[in-house]
Amino acid sequence: MSSNQSIWKDRRVLVTGATGIVGSWLCKRLVEEKASVVVLVRDWDPQSEFIRAGTIQNCCVVHGALEDYSSLERAISEQEIDTIIHLGAQALVGVALRSPLATFEANIRGTYNLLDAARVHRDLVKRFVVASSDKAYGDSDLLPYTEDMPLNGRHPYDVSKSCTDLLALTYAETYGLPVSIARCGNIYGGGDLHWSRIVPGTIRAALENRVPVLRSDGTNIRDYIFVDDVVDAYLRLAEMSGSEGVQGEAFNFSPQSRINVLEITRAILRLMGRDELQPIIESNAKAEIQDQYLDASKARERLGWSPFYALEAGLRKTIPWYHTFLDSQA
């Protein structure tokens, strides 16, 4: 599935979080579809796929942080933005545990700053997608998560995403802003350089002939969704975010498969021909929800979205990216 090129040609799209895994591939897709892409960049990371692939050369770069309202307002006004895809966030559970204030500043203040700047320029902004997470639901005995379940984060990262969602819904309900929310599980694919995450960490360990190390006990169940499917989901949601039944709504995006951490680690090692590297299980993870997986029925029914990649197919596309990347760093 791909988005309709006629929808994006000459659209002026602001993407936050462009240097992250999803932002890198999303911006590449938007450039290919002839959108005018504006990105907010806080830190220069030459290893980001967004920079390495040269996508940045085809985008307008606004330097600033989500916490700085004036940078966001200026970007929307001066660049005449009609679509916002808000990916920018402090996205690591472990970092949030160590630095909750910085996480709240980026994820909560950053979101309401951007929402309010869009409210001020409501005459320009016609589409607005907020990228959230299954973490917004918090821990629940009832699974899979559905969009009508309460937002019940308890740990710093989870709370920051619960707040992000509530803020987005507030601006949709109170001010009529054309905002929709995307909730995904664990996103994987080339370009994720957060080595503490299970997919890139396991691939790098195998390529470097090291045994993978699991922080958890390996039994945590998660959704894993390939980055190309996420890009399709965000673009489809953005296309329809001002529509009835979509504006002011949250949508789960998931392949609706479930696998635990130890199983996906072994699957990666098997695909790489490194079954002999038996993972070390440290079982010392903190502030981690035990099991999380999503029901994506609403996205199928209202958006016509469904994932293209099964887990093995997505991993087969992911592993060569890291092989090439790590070879280039040697």
* Residues forming the active site: 157
DSSP β-bridge partners for residue 188:
226
Q: Give me the helix-helix angle, 311-329 and 227-240, nearest 10°.
A: 110
Q: Where in the chain does DSSP place strands (E)?
A: 12-16, 36-41, 60-63, 83-86, 127-131, 179-184, 186-188, 213-214, 221-222, 224-226, 250-253, 259-260, 280-281
Q: How many CB atoms lie within 10 A of CB 25?
A: 21
DSSP 244: T
SS (H, E, C) 180-223: EEEEECEEECCCCCCCCCHHHHHHHHHHCCCCCEECCCCCCEEC
* Rounded-to-integer distance, Cα 231 and Cα 129, Å: 12
Residue 300: both structure tokens together = 């199928």
- Please report where in the chains the tokens 């796929």 appear, as a residue: 49
Q: How many CB atoms lie within 10 A of CB 20?
A: 25
Residue 186 has phi, psi (to 5 degrees) of -80, 120
